[in-house]
Copies of this chain bind each other. A is one copy, B any other.
Amino acid sequence: MPEYKLIYFDAMGRAELTRWIFKLADIPYTDERIPAEEWPERKKSTPGGTLPVLLVDEQVLRQSMAIARYVAREAGLVPQDNLESALCDALVETVMELQQQMIKIMRSPGDDEEKKTKLQQEFIPNQVEQFFTCLRERLHDREWYCGDQVTWADLAIGRVFCTLVSTQEPLFDKYPDIRSYVEKICALPGIQDWIQTRPETSF
Contacts and interface: CB of A to CB of B under 8 A. Distances in A.
A1 to B, nearest CB: 13
A82 interface: yes
What is the interface of chain A mostly: helix, strand, loop, or mixed?
A: helix
Nearest to A82: B73
A48 interface: yes
A66 B48 contact: no
Contact of A61 (B47, B48, B62, B83): B83
Interface string A57-80: 001011101110110011000000
User: Interface size bucket, A side?
Assistant: 20 to 34
Interface string A29-50: 0000000000000000001110
A62 B90 contact: yes
Interface of A: 47-49, 56, 59, 61-63, 65-67, 69-70, 73-74, 82-83, 85-87, 89-90, 93-94, 130, 134
